[in-house]
Amino acid sequence: MAVTVIRNATLHVTSEEFVDVSAFAISDRKIVPFSPSLLEDGTAEEIDFQGLHVAPGLIDLLINGCNGVSFAQTPTVETLEHMRRYLTLKGVTTFVPTIISGPRENLSNAISAVSDFMNKHPTVCPGVHLEGPFISTNFKGFHPSGYIRPFSEADMEFIKEARENIAYMTIAPEVVKPKNIVDLISCKVRLSLGHTACSYFEAVQSFKAGITNVTHLFNGMAPAIGREPGVVGATFHSDRVFASVIADGRHVHPALVKLAKKILGNRMYIVSDSQSVTGMSKTPQTFVAGGTEIFVDQKRGLIDSKGSYAGTSINMLDGIKFLINQCDFSLDEALIAASYAPAKALGLDDFGCIETGNIADLIVFDDDLKIQYVIQNGFVKSIAELM
């Protein structure tokens, strides 16, 4: 049984057992408390992190692409491998690739690619995010209108067959009938409200039916007003619903991020919603995602021809910095929003916290949030080794 002992680490996002602890161990790829007995047979590897910060690996539940590739544009295992290599360097140890509204063939190819990728990297990818096509045309964002449609019985059969490879689906409850919502949830398909024109009442009823997540809160939905709180109001009123926020400083004003944190606490988490231009050494003026031309606007960010937002060019570390620098989050609060909270939102119980028995997916970084090591599935790699 391989054992690695970590010494002189500053730990973040831990269970009570690891509070004020500077040493821990990795045994059989899982986190365990340090004990002198682990050193008795002389085979344990010891690493001194010399005060560096150690936190759970970052978890991105909404990513379209990065480093020059788009999953919606090219839904292949090769695309996912390319994304994984870049994301690992940026401290993301778990990610959910997103496929937007498009041809059925694209959806089938995406699910097949994710299935193969999950078999190769079981702790890296919990499945695909189906963002559409069962969404509102009124709040479609940059999704192609021609592929947005109501939910059918044929779709139900398709989703049931593919459910083990689906991390979650973003739907509009006015497009998917209540009976179908109940059936999907009973089949253990995780649903999220987003890109929807639904009312406060419809959102509340959806939450009562078992939907426990909201996709990019404040975006892709009507704003809350005095007579119609909408999805935003229903989310704030719930005591169990999680909600993601796009943490680029453009999609959501810092004041609303602070408000979401104040009301939702650790049920608010961040996503990158990144596109292929993220991480590119030279950013193009335009690119294509899901068959739509996207423009790189220096002021507004990524937009389509109608001016709708079309994702971001950030990674999760950028999101953490945004929370700290503009939203008054502490380092630990920002790390929770990028690891613990998304893990809980998706039911990834063995991730997102330094806790006995959890998978050893960890990041090691300095005071400037520069990643020095990544520990994935118990294996410790320096950034130099990952390059």
275 vs 315: CA distance, rounded Å = 10
Query: What is the CATH architecture assignment of 58-345?
Result: Alpha-Beta Barrel (3.20)
288: which residues sit within 8 A by CB, 6+ positions away? 70, 73, 294
Residue 127's φ and ψ, nearest 5 degrees, are 140, 180
d(Cα 99, Cα 259) in Å, to the nearest integer?
29
Determine contact, residues 296/285, Cβ cutoff 8 Å. Answer: yes
Residue 120 has pLDDT above 90, yes or no: yes
Residues 311-331 have a mean pLDDT of: 98
**Over the chain, what is the mean pLDDT?**
96
Cβ partners under 8 Å of residue 130, min gap 6: 99, 107, 166, 168, 169, 170
| Residues marked as catalytic | 273
pLDDT of residue 1: 64
3-state DSSP call for residue 333? helix
Sorting pLDDT into bands at 50, 70 and 90, what band is 148?
very high
255 CB-contact burial (10 Å; exposed 0-12 / middle 13-18 / buried 19+): exposed
Cα–Cα distance, 241 to 229 (Å, whole number): 16
Distance (Å, whole) CA 369 – CA 171: 35
The per-residue pLDDT for 41 is 86
Once rounded to an integer, what is the mean pLDDT over residues 257-273? 98
pTM of the model: 0.97
Which residue is associated with the tokens 């692409």? 65
The dihedrals phi and psi of 184, each to the nearest 5 degrees, come to -65, -45
Structure tokens at 134: 């069962």
Tell me which residue of 45, 39, 40, 43 sits closest to 360, measured CA to CA: 45
Q: In whole angstroms, what is the distance from residue 360 CA to residue 199 CA?
A: 42
Averaged over 337-342, what is the pLDDT? 98
* DSSP-derived secondary structure for 19-49: TT---EEEETTEEEE--GGGGTTS--EEEE-
For residue 112, give the amino acid letter: S
User: Tokens 């009938």 — which residue?
Assistant: 177
Domain definitions of the chain by residue range: 3-55+354-386, 58-345
**50 Cβ contact list (under 8 Å, min separation 6):** 8
Q: Give the confidence band of 379 by pLDDT, cuts at 50, 70, 90.
A: very high
Q: What are the CA-CA distances from residue 120 to residues 3, 22, 80, 166 (Å)? A: 23, 33, 11, 16
CB-based contact 79:365 (threshold 8 Å): no
Q: Is 80 helix (H, G, I), strand (E, B) or coil?
A: helix
Would the pLDDT of 2 be above 90? no
Query: Which of the pair, 298 or 183, is modelled with greater confidence?
Result: 183
Encoded tokens for 75: 């839904």
Instruction: Give the residue-averaged pLDDT of 85-106.
Output: 96
Three-state SS sequence of 187-219: CCCCEEECCECCCHHHHHHHHHHCCCEECCCCC
Residue 285's Cβ-side half-sphere holds a number of Cα atoms within 13 Å equal to 1
Does the structure show a pLDDT above 90 at 90? Answer: yes
**Helix locations, 131-170, DSSP H:** 153-162
Residue 333 has pLDDT above 80, yes or no: yes
CA angle 210, 211, 212 (to 5 degrees): 105
Contact between residue 334 and residue 3 where contact means Cβ atoms under 8 Å apart:
no
Residue 127 has pLDDT above 80, yes or no: yes
Written out in words, the top-level CATH class of the domain with range 3-55+354-386 is mainly beta
Look up tokens 């140890």; give the residue: 93
* pLDDT per residue as tens digits for the range 167-211: 999 999 999 999 999 999 999 999 999 999 999 999 999 999 999
pLDDT score of 40 more than 70 = yes
Type of residue at 157: E
Nearest to 289, CA basis, from 125, 84, 68 = 68
Integer Cα distance of 20 and 17 in angstroms: 9
Rounded CA gap, 123 and 95, in Å? 10
| Reported confidence tier of residue 144, pLDDT bands at 50, 70, 90 | confident
Q: List CB contacts of 125: < 8 A, sequence separation 6 or more.
A: 80, 94, 95, 96, 97, 114, 117, 118, 167
Residue 57 has pLDDT above 70, yes or no: yes
How far apart (Å, rounded) are the C-alpha atoms in residues 152 and 154? 5
Can you tell me the mean pLDDT for 285-292? Answer: 88
What pLDDT is attached to residue 369?
A: 97
State the pLDDT at residue 290. Answer: 80
